[in-house]
Structure 1
Amino acid sequence: MHVFIVTDHAFINGGQAKVALDSALGLAGRGHRVTVFAAVGPADPRLAAAGIRVVCLNQDDVTTARSKLAFAVQAIWNRAAAEALARELARLDPMEAIVHVHAFAKALSPAIGRALRGSRLACLYTMHEFFLVCPNGGFYEYPAARICHRTPMSAACLTTHCDAQSYPRKLARVVRHAALDHVARLPDLFRHVITISDLQERVVAPLLPAGTQFHRVDNPIAVDEAPPRAGAPGDFLFVGRISTEKGAPIFAEAARRANIRPVFVGDGERAADLRARYPEALMLGWRDPAGVQALMRQARALVFPSVWYEGQPLTVYEALACGTPVIVSDACAGREAVEDGETGFWFRSGDPDALAAHLRRLQDDATADRMGRAAHARYWAAPLSRDAHLDRLTGVYETVMREAALGRSRTGAASRPRAVAPA
C-alpha cells in the first residue's frame, strides 16, 4: 500500500513526531511506499535514505515564527498547506493509498480537512493529544494546575482562562477550534481514530460523532531486552519536562517528606525554582535515550507524578522494560501500564503525602527488587516493540481501506484507479 503520513514536523521534536517518523521508517522497511507531508523542516535525513518521499513546506511553528500575528493566522487556517496537500493527494491512487494524520495543530492547521475531504481517500487520525476535541489540546487548566472537566466550546469553556500563556491565546485557539468543527469538520471526517490509551478513548468518545470507530494502537517502545538489575537499587528517578503539569513539584515535596533524595532527569520552567527550594534534589539535566535507560536500570523506581491525562507516557513503559518499578499518579494514562502493588504503585494525584508513603515502602530493597523483577517479566511477556506496532497499524489500515473501497463501489466514485503522476 501507499501510506501518506501527514504531520506538523518532518523531524523529531517530541514523542508525537517520533512515533510518526519511526512508523514511516518501519513501514518503508516492510516494503510499503511511504510519503511524509509536513509543514516544518528540516526533514530527518533517515527518511530520504529509506526511500521515503518527503514533502516539506518549510513553514514556521510557534518556536520559529518571527511574527506571532502571522503565525496565529497560519495556526487558525493554513491556506498554503491546504493547497499543497490537495495537490499531493490528487497524485494518489485511491485503490492503494491511505492518508494517516498524526498532527496538525502546531503548524498545518485544520485547513487540511478541506483537502482531505475533497480527495475522498481513505484516511484516519492518531490522537496523540486532544486537539481534535479540546481547544488547548490537553483538558488541563494551566493557571489553576488541574484537569478540566468542562465541555469543550461550551460557555464555561469559553470563559475559562486555561492557556499556559494568556487568555488572548486561548481565544485564538477557540477560533481555530471553531474552524476545526464548523469549516474543516475534522471530527466528522475522521471516522477512524487511533487511540493510545483506554483513558484517552473514555475522555474523547462522548465528544466525537456516534459513528466514530476507535482502534487501539500502542506506541512502540525502543528498549533492548536485558536481564533485570543486579545489585542494590539506586535512587528514585523523575524523567521528563520539569513542569507543574508533569508533577515535578509534587515529587520534590514528597521526597522531602519521605527523607529521600529526588533525582531529576530533564529540564523545564520549574527547574530553577525547584533547585532553589529543594537543594537536596539532584538535577541531571537532559540525557540521551541510552543515558536515560542506563539511569532507569539502576533506579529504585521511576516516579511519574503527572497531574494531567497524558496520552500514553512512553517513559513509564521504558522503565518497566528496564525492570524498574513505577510509582504513578492515578489521574494519568500511565497507570494503565502499572499493576498496583505488583509492578509499582498508584497514588492519589496531586497528593505529596500519598506519594511519600509509597516512596517509604520502596526504600525496602527486597520490595524494590521484587517489583522490579515483576515489572520486567510482565513487560517482556508482551513487549511494545516496533514490529508489534506495525502489525497492528497495518491491520487498521487494511480495515479502513476496505471500508473506503466499499463506499466508493456504492457511489460509483473512483471505480478505476486515477492517473497518477510519477513521483
Structure 2
Amino acid sequence: MAPIRVLIVHNFYQQPGGEDQVFKAEKTMLQEAGVEVIEHTAHNDGLNQMGPLKLAQVTLWNREAYRQMRALAAQHKPHVAHIHNTFPLLSPAVYHALKAEGVPIVQTLHNYRLLCLGATLLREGRECVECLGKSIPWPGVWHACYRNHAASSVVASMLVLHRLLGTWAHKVDRFIVLTEYERSVFAKGGLEANKITLKPNFVHPDPGAGTGQGGYALFVGRLSPEKGIDVLLEAWKGLDFPLKIAGDGPLGPQVAAAVQSLPQVEWLGRQPREQIFSLMQNAAFLVFPSITYEGFPMTLAEAFATGLPVLASNYGSMSQLVRPAENGLLFEVGNPADLAAQARWLVGHPNELLAMRQKARLEFEQRYSAKQNLHMLLNIYREAAGSRWPALAQ
C-alpha cells in the first residue's frame, strides 16, 4: 500500500471526555494500519493564561494557529487533514490555513457547536432548537447558553463570522456524523447533505467481554445536569439494587450528599479507563439517563465492547443506539419512576439480561470494532482527497 499521510487536529478540553478518547483511538488505529500520522493539538489549560479580550480574539481567528497550521501542512504535505475540535484555541482559522495549502479537510462533528452555542441543543434541562436555522444565533446570546452573556456573544460572533466566510460550507470536504439522528439535525441546520457521512464511534483496543456477575448497576460519565444525574438519584431512592457511580463534575457535591442517605449507592469518583472497563465487565447493566441529544457517547460503545446491556433515555441518538430487548432497554427521558421500573425488570429477568449481554457484544464486533471503523474512515478520507489520494492506497 502506498504511504498515506494524515494530519489529525484536536483542541483538548480541560475536562477529559469522549472526543479526546476518539481522537486518541483513531490515531492509534491509523498508526497500527501503517498510516503516517502527523498530530497537531492544543489544550484548553492554556485558557488560564489568557485575559477575556485575548480569548475572544483567538476564538474568532487565532493568527498564530493559522501560521503554525500552514507551516505544518507545507512541511508534511498530508493527503488529508482530519479535524476533531478547534474550540476555542485553534479557532476556525485552521481550516483556512489548510485550504491555503491545498489540503482536503474531514471534520468529525462530535457535538452541536456549529448549531448551538452550548453545543448540546439543551437549555435549562430541556430540548432547545431556537437557534437552529438562524443566521445569527441571537437566542443563545439572550439566554447566555455558553457560560455567560459575554462568552455567549463571543461564540455567536465566531459562528456568524465563519458562516459569512463560508468556513464550514466551502472549506470542509466531508463531515463525519456519529448517528443518523445527528445527520438529520445537521442537515436541518444548513450543512450540505451530500457532504455528511455516517461513521460511528468505536473502541480500540478491544477490552473484551465480561461476565456481569458483580451484582450492581453502573453509571459512567460527567456529573453534570445534562447527564441526568438528578433523574438517576431520584430513581434509586426506590431501588435496593446496588449502583456504582464513576465520574466527577460540577454535581459532585450533590452526589456526595445523596449517597449519605442511599446506602445502596456508591460514588467512586473519576476512575482511569482501565478501571472503567473492569467495572463494566462486572456490572449487570449500565444506566445512561442523559437528558440531552448526545452524539454517539463513547460510554455506550465501551459498554457494548464489554458485553454490557444499557438502560438509556429514549431520547436523541440513544433511541437509535439502544434497541429494547436486544442490547438493553429504554425509559422515558427525565422520568425517574420509569427508570426505576425498567431497572427492576432487568434485575428480575436474569436470563433475558444474559441474552442482551451476548447481543451487545455481538453488536460491538459487527459495528464498533477497529477493523470495521478503519475501513469506513479510509473510505471517507479517499472521498475527501479525490485526486490527491495516493493511487495505490486501499
Say which structure is richer in helix: 2
User: Which residue pairs with 1:344 in the alignment?
Assistant: 328
In 1, distance between residues paired with 2:209 and 2:191?
A: 46
1:84 aligns with 2:68: yes
User: Which residue pairs with 1:210 in the alignment?
Assistant: 192
Task: Indicate the SS of the match to 1:257.
Answer: coil
1:146 aligns with 2:126: yes
- Conserved in 2, the CA contact under 8 Å of 1:263 and 1:284? yes
- Conserved in 2, the CA contact under 8 Å of 1:251 and 1:262? no
User: Which residue pairs with 1:18 in the alignment?
Assistant: 21
User: Which residue pairs with 1:177 in the alignment?
Assistant: 159
- Out of 191, 202, 221, the position equivalent to 2:173 is 191
In 1, distance between residues paired with 2:25 and 2:121?
A: 27
Structure 2 unaligned blocks of 5 or more: 390-394
- Out of 24, 28, 32, the position equivalent to 1:29 is 32
Task: Indicate the SS of the match to 2:218.
Answer: strand
Instruction: Tell me the percent identity.
Output: 24
Task: Indicate the SS of the match to 1:268.
Answer: coil
In 2, distance between residues paired with 1:21 and 1:10?
A: 14
- Conserved in 1, the CA contact under 8 Å of 2:82 and 2:107? yes
Task: Indicate the SS of the match to 1:345.
Answer: strand
1:269 aligns with 2:260: no
Q: Where does 1:109-128 land on structure 2 (aligned, <5 Å)? A: 109-128=91-110
Task: Indicate the SS of the match to 2:286.
Answer: strand
1:372 aligns with 2:327: no
Q: CA deviation at 1:292?
A: 1.2
User: Which residue pairs with 1:293 in the alignment?
Assistant: 277
1:312 aligns with 2:296: yes
- Conserved in 2, the CA contact under 8 Å of 1:201 and 1:214? yes
Comparing 70-79 with 13-22, which one deviates more in the overlay? 13-22
In 2, distance between residues paired with 1:187 and 1:197?
A: 21
1:130 aligns with 2:133: no
Q: CA deviation at 1:404?
A: 6.2
- Conserved in 1, the CA contact under 8 Å of 2:212 and 2:284? no
Comparing 176-185 with 193-202, which one deviates more in the overlay? 176-185
Report 1 or 2 for greater relative contact order, CA contacts < 8 Å, sequence distance ≥ 6: 2
Change over 3 Å in CA distance of 1:263–1:13 after alignment to 2: closer
- Conserved in 1, the CA contact under 8 Å of 2:313 and 2:331? yes
Task: Indicate the SS of the match to 2:371.
Answer: helix
The C-alpha deviation readout for 1:157-182, integer Å capped at 9, x for no partner, is 24541525322221121111122212
Task: Indicate the SS of the match to 1:284.
Answer: strand
Q: What is the TM-score when the length of structure 1 is the normalising length?
A: 0.82
Q: What is the TM-score when the length of structure 2 is the normalising length?
A: 0.87
Q: Which amino acid aligns with 2:364?
A: Y
**What RMSD, in angstroms, separates the aligned Cα atoms of the two structures?**
2.6
1:65 aligns with 2:49: yes
In 2, distance between residues paired with 1:116 and 1:404?
A: 14
The C-alpha deviation readout for 1:355-414, integer Å capped at 9, x for no partner, is 11101111213343332233233433x152223222211111111222668xxxxxxxxx
Structure 1 unaligned blocks of 5 or more: 41-58, 406-423
Change over 3 Å in CA distance of 1:119–1:325 after alignment to 2: same
User: Which residue pairs with 1:45 in the alignment?
Assistant: none
Task: Indicate the SS of the match to 1:91.
Answer: helix
Q: CA deviation at 1:346?
A: 0.9
In 2, distance between residues paired with 1:155 and 1:15?
A: 26
Comparing 10-19 with 356-365, which one deviates more in the overlay? 10-19
